[in-house]
A and B are shown apart, each in its own frame.
Chain A
Amino acid sequence: MIKLEDRPSVIILSIITFIAVFYAFMFLTEGAATAFMERTGGPAPNEGTLFFMGSVGYIYLGIAIANVMAMMAPASQSMVFFRAMVIITFIAALRAIGNAIIADEILTYAPLIATILVYVGYAVVMSRNKARLGTHFGWL
């Protein structure tokens, strides 16, 4: 059933998929989204914030489903997906790092670490499946 040839990539994508499902449910559920904001030191979310957090939750859910689809196809059919996800998660990681640098106080590093790990995970998957266009950061 799983057609992706590289086993470590399957493991990495499975873990990322679960993280995506976890964050999707967190952002989609009002109580969990409020608790997330409180734990990360943000202001209590209003109705508008919760609406947009829910939208982000659906994006996470979409990414989880896309990961499953990528695992069910040979690597050759998922090259562009891997590249796109590396770019998206790289930008997300940069933003998370930037936010952490300028923050007055950080209550938890969990989202920051998760964001960076997801980027590294996709980079490893991209490299192992020979989806890399150039040779930059070949050690990943």
Chain B
Amino acid sequence: MFKTDDRLIQICLGICYFIAAMYAMINFFNPDYLINRYGSLEATDTNRWFLGWYGMMNFGFVAGLIYMGYKGLDRAFFTYAVPLAILFLIWGIGGQMSVPENEQNWTAVGFFVIQLVAIVIARARAFGMNVDFTKAENMWGTNDKLCQTILWLGLITQAFFVVSYFINPDQLITDTPGLELNDASQRFALGVMFFSLAWTIALLYQLRTGYSMSLIVTGLITSIMFFAVFLNFAAMGTTTLNGEGNALLATAIIGNFVGSLILFFRLQGNH
């Protein structure tokens, strides 16, 4: 499937695909399954909201893997996937250590370990252990000024979110109506920041070595899902377009959606 003769790479990426797809479907379509199995998670809309968020991010990851399956392995995708796997292993261990022993459940941490090992083996077998920083001919690897601007905006947005998390870790929760501030939601907010951190690293890498279509596909699928869910919330009346919701988050979701679409349609012709 992954356009390589190396069976081990195929197996490792297959494992990554399975774990990411499994968590994407459970988190997004059936968050109560996880809530019932983790004593530290209460059946609240806040926890479902964050699990849905993680599910959408996982769907994007799966889309990137599928794209690599069609087009071949891509260094830039690993600059997103490897830091993300490391960060989520830290997140998982930290999260379980912070809850009482009788509420701990290490299943997800186990999967995170498998995911990290599989992705590192695939990366090492495909490209060796060295990280290639060969500079692209143009900034972001394209002459298209609009695409360059959008990618800059993406980098600034992700970096801004990481910085704002360190200034006020609870901002996402307190600024979003309907979310409750508690230990579980704070842990989830940390995970959301880890997604942004991984994207920041991947975008910085692309700034130097050129854009990656597999990461653009990853971002596109993620942003489409976020925008569709955002519109659903608007249709339900739980988020309004006239300022009652989290305006910053709404702007980021809309901007991400429009930017990803422009990037994809302007750059896809070269691939």
Q: Which residues of A contact B (CB under 8 A)?
A: 1-2, 18, 21-22, 24-26, 28-29, 31-32, 35-36, 39
Contact partners of B29 in chain A: CB under 8 A: 28
Query: Is B113 at the interface (CB under 8 A from chain A)?
Result: no
Question: Complex: how many Å from CA A84 to CA B261?
Answer: 27
- Which residue of B is nearest A29, CB measured? B232
Are B236's CB and A32's CB within 8 A? yes
Are A2's CB and B228's CB within 8 A? no
Question: Complex: how many Å from CA A25 to CA B227?
Answer: 11
The SS class assigned to the A binding surface is: helix
Tell which of A2, A21, A24 has the most Cβ of chain B within 10 Å.
A21
Contact partners of A1 in chain B: CB under 8 A: 213, 268-269, 271
Are A2's CB and B232's CB within 8 A? no
* Among candidates A2, A21, A35, A39, residue contacting B224 with C-beta atoms closer than 8 Å: A21
Are B238's CB and A31's CB within 8 A? yes
Interface members, chain B 210-256 (any A CB < 8 Å): 213, 224-225, 228-229, 231-233, 235-238
- Which residue of A is nearest B56, CB measured? A25
Report the contact-size class of chain B (Cβ under 8 Å from the partner). 10 to 19
Tell which of B29, B213, B232, B268 has the most Cβ of chain A within 10 Å.
B232
Q: Given A1-B213, A25-B229, decide whether A36 and B224 contact each other with a Cβ distance below 8 A.
A: no
A42 to chain B, nearest CB (A): 15
B2 to chain A, nearest CB (A): 17
Question: Complex: how many Å from CA A22 to CA B227?
Answer: 9
Contact partners of B233 in chain A: CB under 8 A: 32
Given contacts A21-B225, A29-B229, A35-B235, 20 further A-B contacts (CB under 8 A): A1-B213, A1-B269, A2-B268, A18-B224, A21-B224, A21-B228, A22-B228, A22-B231, A25-B225, A25-B228, A25-B229, A25-B232, A26-B232, A28-B29, A31-B238, A32-B232, A32-B233, A32-B235, A35-B237, A39-B235
- Which residue of A is nearest B233, CB measured? A32
Question: Complex: how many Å from CA A134 to CA B99?
Answer: 67
Question: Complex: how many Å from CA A35 to CA B235?
Answer: 8
Question: Complex: how many Å from CA A138 to CA B269?
Answer: 31
Tell which of B228, B237, B271 has the most Cβ of chain A within 10 Å.
B228
Contact partners of A18 in chain B: CB under 8 A: 224, 228
- A sample of 25 inter-chain contacts (CB < 8 A) reads A1-B213, A1-B271, A2-B268, A2-B269, A18-B224, A18-B228, A21-B224, A21-B225, A21-B228, A22-B231, A22-B232, A25-B225, A25-B229, A25-B232, A26-B235, A28-B29, A29-B229, A31-B236, A32-B232, A32-B233, A32-B235, A32-B236, A35-B235, A35-B236, A35-B237
Question: Complex: how many Å from CA A21 to CA B224?
Answer: 8
Contact partners of A25 in chain B: CB under 8 A: 225, 228-229, 232
Question: Complex: how many Å from CA A18 to CA B232?
Answer: 12
- Which residue of A is nearest B267, CB measured? A1
Contact partners of A28 in chain B: CB under 8 A: 29
